[in-house]
Amino acid sequence: MPEVEIYVDSAALQKAMKEAGDDLVAELKAGNKALGEIVAARARQIVPVRSGALKKTINAVKAVSGAKITAGTPSLTSKVPYAGPIHYGWDNAFGDGVTIEARPFLSDALDDVRDEVVDAYDKMIADLLKKAGLK
């Protein structure tokens, strides 16, 4: 299952947030998910669509460590196991004669909205630091 992560080496921030209280940790997770949703929304606009099933699986996931955006479903028996080959491409991997050109919709989505996400992240962190009494 392809995914894009926006990871920030934020061990000190996470420690400070935990010390400041569960409410700020919850705000950090929610903020990271909201930032991920910016990327996910763009990915939904540019993902290749045949049936729409892949588009429906694009999601932002809550995490303390950063934003995570996933697409597809991980099981080969699921309805959307082809997210990886669509995103990364498929070059006759099993000698089956099938070649799929890579269409890196998650990476492209992040590239498209990177400045917006970075600006929003800077503001979110500044607000959280202020709430935690660290700035």
Share of the chain above pLDDT 70, in %: 84
Q: Is the pLDDT of residue 9 over 60?
A: no
pLDDT digits (tens, 9 = 90+) for 62-72: 887 788 899 99
Question: What pLDDT was estimated at residue 48?
Answer: 96
pLDDT category at 75 given cuts 50, 70, 90 is low
Question: What pLDDT was estimated at residue 94?
Answer: 73
* E strands, the chain, in order: 3-7, 59-61, 66-70, 90-91, 99-100
Tell me if 3 sits within 8 A of 68, measured CB to CB.
yes
Is the alpha carbon torsion for 81, 45, 60, 89 positive or negative? positive
* Structural domain boundaries in the chain: 3-73+104-131
Name which of 20-24, 88-92, 104-108 the model is least confident about: 20-24
Q: What is the mean pLDDT of residues 93-108?
A: 86
DSSP-derived 3-state class of residue 98: coil
Question: What pLDDT was estimated at residue 23?
Answer: 84
- What Rg, from alpha-carbon coordinates, does the chain have? 18
What's the mean per-residue pLDDT of the chain? 85
pTM exceeds cut of 0.85: no
CA distance 65 to 13: 10
Tell me if 39 sits within 8 A of 110, measured CB to CB.
yes
Tell me if 49 sits within 8 A of 75, measured CB to CB.
no
